[in-house]
Amino acid sequence: MARHLARRCPRCDGYLGVVVCNRSPKSATQPVTGLCAVCSHRMTWKLIHGKRRRGVDFSGRIPKLFKRGSRPSLDVPPDH
C-alpha cells in the first residue's frame, strides 16, 4: 500500500501531496511523486535503497610527516 504525506510546496508554499509508492522486492528504487493542490507543481523522483556508503572523516586525522625513528632537524638557516 502506498504512503501519502503532506508537505509544503517549494514554489507557492501551498499543500503538496506526496505519494511514496511500494517497491518490488527485487527493485533497488522506489518511485515518489508530489503534486501541489494550489499551483499544480509536480515533482517526481526516486528513492534508492541499498548499502549506505560512508564518507571518510578526516576531521581528527593528522598526517604523518616523518618516518618512524627519524627526527626533524631544528637547524634554522641564518638571515642574510
Cβ-contact 11, 38 below 8 angstroms: no
pLDDT tens digits, 8-41: 888 898 898 988 888 788 888 888 899 999 999 9
> For residue range 54-66, what is the model confidence (pLDDT) as tens digits?
666 666 666 666 5
Q: How far apart are alpha carbons 7 and 15 in whole angstroms?
A: 6
How much is the pTM? Answer: 0.53
Residues in the chain: 80
60 in helix, strand or coil?
coil
8 Å CB contact between 31 and 6: no
